[in-house]
């Protein structure tokens, strides 16, 4: 994307936002749902995976 596209307003059913703001929405949504999954895993007695466990993550 160009700087102009990121700075341009984008219409959506939820209102008008700048292009770069949609990246923030996606980022926030990702962390929100990750938090929900971790909470449910703990409620089920499971240990959620380490977020930054680079040694044991698949390549």
pLDDT value, residue 40: 94
pLDDT value, residue 49: 81
Query: What percent of the chain shows pLDDT beyond 70?
Result: 95
Structural domain including 22 reads: 1-59
Q: Is the pLDDT assigned to residue 20 strictly greater than 90?
A: yes
3-state secondary structure of 10: strand
Note if the pTM is more than 0.85.
no
| pLDDT tens-digit readout, 26-50 | 888 888 998 999 999 999 999 888 8
3-state secondary structure of 11: strand
pLDDT value, residue 59: 58
Round to whole Å and give the CA distance between 34 and 52.
13
Q: φ and ψ at 17, to 5 degrees?
A: -135, 160
Q: How many domains does the chain have?
A: 1
């Amino acid at each position: 994307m160009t700087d102009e596209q990121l700075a341009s307003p984008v219409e959506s059913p939820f209102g008008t936002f700048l292009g770069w703001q949609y990246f923030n929405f996606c980022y926030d949504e990702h962390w929100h749902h990750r938090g929900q999954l971790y909470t449910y895993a703990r409620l089920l007695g499971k240990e959620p995976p380490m977020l930054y466990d680079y040694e044991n993550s698949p390549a």
